[in-house]
Amino acid sequence: MKFFQRLGRSLMLPVAVLPVAAILSGIGYWIQTATGNEENVVGGFFAIAGNALLDQLPLLFAIGVAIGMAKKPDGTSALAGLVSWLVVTTLLSPESVAIFKGIDEGEVNLAFSNIENVFVGILCGLIGAYAYDHFKDAELPDFLAFFSGRRSVAIVAAGMSLVLSLVLFFVWPLVFTGLVAFGEFILTLGPVGVGIYGFLNRLLIPLGLHHALNSVFWFDVAGINDLGNFLHATGTYGVTGQYMTGFFPVMMLGLPGAALAMYVTAKSARRKVAAGVLLSSAIASFFVGVTEPLEFSFMFLAPGLYVVHALFTGISMGISALLPVRMGFGFSGGFIDLVLGWVNPMAQNPWAIPLMGIFWFVVYFVVFRAIILKFDLKTPGRDEDDQLTDDGVTLSGENKHLATATAFLTALGGKENIIDLENCATRLRMEVADTTVIDEAALKRAGAAGTMKPGGQSVQVIYGTSVQFVKDAMESIITGRSEPVAEAAEVAAAEAAATGASGTAGPAADGAAGTAVRTTHLVRLRQPLAGSVVPLSEVPDQTFAQEVMGPGVAIDPTDGEVIAPAAGTVGHVFPTGHAVALVLDDGTELLIHVGLDSVQMKGEGFTTLVEPGQRVSAGTPLLRADLSAIRVAGHSTLTPIIVMNDKDARIELV
C-alpha cells in the first residue's frame, strides 16, 4: 500500500497541469463542432494547445514517476525516465516492429499502435527512479570515469529499457488481443455486458488498456461502431449510444461529487491547496469529460476507492442501457458533448441524463466521504507527505521554515560556505568551507538545540523532528528558488520561543511539564524494543550523550521490531524509516531513533508500519529494522529514546 500511495503522490505533479489542458481542448472541440468547421482557426488554436499536454499524458507520467519515486531526486531521474520512454516506445513502434519481423507495417499487430499508454509510461518512470537511486553514486574504472555517478543513470536506464522492450514485444500483443476478444464476448450479455464494460473501462484506465476495450464497442472492430453510428446518425434509434450513455452522469456530476467529498475530508491546513487541483479537475470532468486528472488524484493513493468508482460506473452504464435513454459523444461524456448531441436523431430522452447525474452526485459524495473517514484514506489533502501541500515545502515569504533557514544560513557563514547539506532525523549534517565563521549563539537564537563539530569541515546543527523542512528551505534559498526572509533572525527566534528549541510544537524545554495533564517529570513507558537498557551518557554520539535533544535512555536491541511504548499519535515518520516521533496522550513528545548514523542507509533495512497522524496504543508496531544490515553497514544499533519537550524528564521503562 505504501508503494501505491507514494506512486500516487508522484503522479500529482503531471496531473496538476491536465485540468486546464482539458478545458482548452474542450473549448476548441466545441467551437469546431458548433461552427461545423473542423478547420476553424480559433477552435484549432484552443484544441491544439490543450492536446499538446493531453496527448502526451503517458510521457508526463514517465517523467513524473521518475521524479516522485526516486529518493532525493534531481533532474537526472527525470532524464532517465525520459530516456526509458524514448527507448521503449521507439523500439516497439509499428515501424520498428515491422523491421524486426520483416513484414509490412500494415501487417503489424494493432497492439503496437497503442504502445504509448499510461501503463508503459509508469513502467518507464519506475525504471528511471530505480536507475537513479542505485547508480547515481556509481564509481567506474578510470578509463570510464567520465560516465561515473549521475552520468551513468541514463545509460543504465536505457539498458534496463531494452530488457523491458523485449518482454513487452512478446507480452503486449497477447494482453491487447485478449482484451479485444473479451470485449467481443461481452456483446452477448446485453445490458449486463454494458455494465461489465463500464466497470472494466474504468478499472483498466491506470494501465492504459481501456483503449483496447473501447475499440470493440465504439468503433467497427466487431461491427458495433457505437460512436461512429451516433455521430453520423446511421445507427438504430434506441440502441445506438448504449455503450456511451452511462458515462455522462458519472463524468458530469458523479466524479465532481467525489471531488467535493475529498475536499470536505481534507485536513483544514491542506484544504485550500487541495481545492486547487480538485476544483479544476472537477470542472474538466463536468464540462469536457476528461476524468484522468481527478481519477489519478486518488486511484493510487486510495486504490480501494477507485474500485468503488469503477463499480459505480459499471452500474451507471448498466442502468442506462436498461432505460430508454441514449446519448453519444465525439470527445467524451461531458456537458459540451451533451449539449452538442442533444438534437442528434439518435439521442433518446437526453433530459434524463442530468437527473441521473444528480443522483450519482449524491451517491458519490456520501459514499466517498464515508469510506474516506472510515478507513482514513490518504486522498488529496489528507496525507502528511502530500505533494499538494505547501506546508514547509512550497515556501512563501511568511513561512516559518524559510525564516529559520535564512537565519541558519546567515549564522553558518552564508550559503557560499555550505559545501554539502543533508539531514537525519533531528539534525542538519553539513560540510562547510570554513568552520571558524559559524556563529553558534545565533544558531541557538534561531531555534537550534545545539551545534556539533565532529571534525574537519563537518558540522551538525541539532534542530528537531521538523529538520527536513528547514533543510528543504535552506536548499531552496541556496539554489535561488526562494528569496531569504528579511529580519529572519527575529522571526526565527520568535518561532523558536513559541515552539521550543526542538523545533516541535509544545512548550519550551525550560523544565516545565510537557502539558497540563502530566504534572511530573517521570515518564513511564513500555520498552519499545527488546534488548538491554543503556544510559544515554554511554551512547557514542555526543548529541544524544550530552542530551542536546533532550533526556532519555538507549536500548541495545536484540530484535528489530519497534512498538509504541504508550498510547498516542504518530507525529512524524522519517522518509528513511529509521526513526519515528510520537506525541503521547499526556503531551510527552517522544523520539525513537533506531541506530546511530543509520540515516546514511537511506531506508535500506527499515520498514515503517505507521503513518503520520495515526492513533496508536501501547504495543502497536511502529517500524521494523534489520539489525544485521545496520551492523554490516558499519553503524551501531543502539537506539536512543528521547523526550523532546522536557529537559528534566526521567524515563522509566516497565
Name the residues annotated as catalytic.
424, 593
80 close to 170: Cβ distance less than 8 angstroms: no
Q: Which residue type is seen at 152?
A: S
Closest CA to 629 of 577, 590, 581, 591: 577
d(CA 422, CA 404): 16
d(CA 99, CA 485): 60
Closest CA to 430 of 419, 438, 441: 419
Q: Which residue type is seen at 539?
A: V
Please say whether the dihedral angle defined by the alpha carbons of residues 290, 390, 574 and 431, taken in this order, is positive or negative: positive
**CB neighbour burial string for 402-416, b if at least 16 within 10 angstroms, e if fewer:** bbbbbbbbbbbbebe
d(CA 424, CA 465): 9
599 close to 555: Cβ distance less than 8 angstroms: no
Please report, in angstroms and rounded to a whole number, the separation of the first and last CA atoms in the chain: 34
Closest CA to 474 of 524, 416, 426: 416
Please say whether the dihedral angle defined by the alpha carbons of residues 487, 491, 494 and 499, taken in this order, is positive or negative: negative
CB atoms within 10 A of CB 617: 11
132 close to 155: Cβ distance less than 8 angstroms: no
